Structure 1
Amino acid sequence: MTEEERTEVPTRTLVEGMVRTDGTVDAGELYAVAGELGMTDQQVRLCIKRMAAEGLLVQEGRGRRAVLRETDRARRAAEPEAGFVRHMYAQDAGLAPWDGRWHLAAFAVPESARTARDALRETLVRLGGAAVQGGVYASANAWEPLVEAEAERLGVGDRLTLLTTTDLRIGGEEDPAALARRLWPLDELAEGHRRLAALAADRLARLTRLADGAADAGAARVERLAVAVELAAGFTRATEPDPLLPPELLPRPWPGAEARALTADCWRLLRRAEQRDPDPGPRFFHRYDEVMAEITGERSRLRS
């Protein structure tokens, strides 16, 4: 893979993306994929050290012969992300129509608990919320259990107020789509999805060539894994700031749907190749299969 063809991948994304279904990472394969992505061994070693210090990994052995084991803490942290992926594809499939309700969260946390206040605010934004005014955030999706759990964890559950409404007006504006444009940077989000779509289209062509070619099996596997990690990084960059607004609130056509469809095509090719490979592939291949199987099953149920 040439320098021009690479896309930026955080080292942590590489390590997380290489976790297999049994919660392990083969260090030899990790370093091989890192090299394919233009990373140095030192970058990888430092990342492993940091993640171990954070209680996310346990290393057994040394160097390329080592096995990294994901901790329960790291596994739990990854679970909400799978839920968000499931929701975004359900929206694209028309299985999660908007009920017209806005979900509001308000808090009044004193300066003496500023750290908790800042953490709660960051959580609300990460969950897709937008500031309506000081201490009041809005979401178009139901987020109450997640918000309450975080507020309780931070020790400020008694400072949190949650409510829903179908009658939200800001500065006299009440049209839902206009409110969405006012509250969230839709142009910026759309551009991020266009970049993901371009990346996915390019990598889809590469994966198709790999599937049709007669390349060395080991080299082909490393290249496929590198592509998978690149896609994971690009997907995260595009979707992490996305509030996952219902299609009813977004401009049409919305580039997020196209970007996710192209990414899904890539996952299918990667999963198909992984099923023919005697060595296990990354866990997110299987998570994607589970998500798409659920959505396909729900579509079939509604049609019957």
Structure 2
Amino acid sequence: MAEEHVNDAVEIPTRLLVESMIREDATIDAGELYTVAAALGMSDQQVRLHIRRLVTDGQITQEGRGRRALLRVGGQMLGSIEPNIEFVGLMYDQDRGAAPWDGIWHLVAFAVPETRRQARDAVRDGIVGLGGAAIQGGLYVSPNSWEPYVEDLADRLDIGGHLTRLTTTDLRVGELDSPRQIAAHLWPLDKIAAGHERLLAVTQARLDRLAGPRELSRSQILTMLVELAAEFTRASEPDPLLPPELLPQPWPGTRARSALAACWAQLMPLRSMPDWPRMFYHYADVIERVTAGAEGIETAGGQAIRTAG
């Protein structure tokens, strides 16, 4: 029976659900997949059609039929939703003051010819994906040391000769010269903060369930794992990871990540049990590593949660 969600329901795309259910041996138990899908408000038909498309595309193979089927996943899908430990580590370092800003702005400009429009679009999207903000046409800035990532992007697109890189401690954008004002002008902080507020609400609701008197079934825990990973991804992807010195305080991202770490801490005992999705083990390992020793965040052991079935 599906859990009742009121204000904390998480919207999960069908593909993300399927990817979230991949186990360490690159298989998916179709029965568990359909059960979690139902808990998330998806119909069997919706999941069945998506599986059929993945089989047709050669991304998975299917052994058996319906809920008794075993799905085998190809390499293309593996690792697609696993967290990047380097970026997650930076988030938590910033939250606990272990990565203070040095006051340096990092800029990159590009002038890719019209004949290479596809590469030009790709480098622009890649720079924005790395947290860059456009100052004006072809000129982007970040407060973080992103040069290795920008250079790797340029190498992959073979446009290194069209890039200019520079750093400065003296940045003025229009009439703005205060770093915090510049950040508020260049990045959509209200929208980013709203995503973290949403993550906080979702995570807090799951913490309350873990601490509640009801035993949690395996399918309920699986549903929770998918929801947490999806909402964390949704909140984190548009976040440029600006240093706290550039953000309004208190910043909701800090509270949301602290709650998320506490939630995963409560789930840590599950690592000794077999056949959980590989996504769970990766998130548990990453959260434990990057929050180790962080004051105010329980990161290891935790209260053993009650499970049923």
Equivalent residue for 1:151? 154
Q: Determine whether 1:283 maps to 2:271.
A: no
> 1:87-166 to 2 correspondence within 5 Å?
87-166=90-169
Runs of 4+ in 1 over 6 A off after TM superposition: none
Q: How many residues align?
A: 291
From 224, 239, 245, give the equivalent of 1:227. Answer: 224
- Unmatched segments (≥5 aa) in structure 1: none
Indicate the residue corresponding to 1:40 in structure 2: 43
Distance 1:156 1:17, change over 3 A: same
| CA distance in 2: counterparts of 1:236 and 1:292, whole angstroms | 14
Given that 2:133 and 2:140 are in contact with CA atoms closer than 8 Å, whether structure 1 keeps it comes out as: yes
Deviation at 1:52, TM superposition (A): 5.5
> Is the Cα contact below 8 Å between 2:225 and 2:280 reproduced in 1?
no
Q: How far did 1:297 drift?
A: 4.9
CA contact (8 A) 2:133 2:186 kept: yes
* Distance 1:297-1:238 versus aligned 2 partners, 3 A rule: closer
Higher share in helix: 1
Task: Report SS of the residue matched to 2:84.
Answer: helix
**1:280 & 1:128 partners in 2: Cα distance?**
35
Contact 2:81 2:279 (C-alpha < 8 Å) held by counterparts? no
For residue 213 of structure 1, give the secondary structure of its aligned residue in structure 2. Answer: coil
Trace 1:1-304 onto structure 2 (pairs within 5 A): 1-2=3-4, 4=6, 6-51=9-54, 57-63=59-65, 64-75=67-78, 77-78=80-81, 81-209=84-212, 212-214=213-215, 220-272=217-269, 274-275=270-271, 277=273, 279-297=274-292
Give the stretch that moved more between structures: 110-119 or 58-67.
Answer: 58-67
Distance in 1 (CA, whole Å) between partners of 2:56 and 2:92 is: 35
* 5+ long unaligned stretches in structure 2: 296-309
8 A Cα contact 1:203 1:266, kept in partner: yes
The alignment's TM-score, normalised by the length of structure 1, stands at 0.85
Corresponding letter in the other structure for 2:164: T
Residue by residue over 1:202-234, the C-alpha shift from the partner in whole angstroms, topping out at 9 and shown as x without a partner, is 12111222xx4346xxxx110111112112222
Q: From the superposition, tell whether residues 260 and 297 of structure 1 become closer, same or farther in structure 2 (CA, over 3 Å).
A: closer
Give the secondary structure class of the aligned counterpart of 1:259.
helix
Match of 2:156, as an amino acid?
R
Q: What's the C-alpha RMSD, in Å, of the aligned pairs?
A: 2.5
Q: Deviations along 1:172-221, whole A, 9 cap, x unmatched?
A: 42221111111101112112211111111112111222xx4346xxxx11
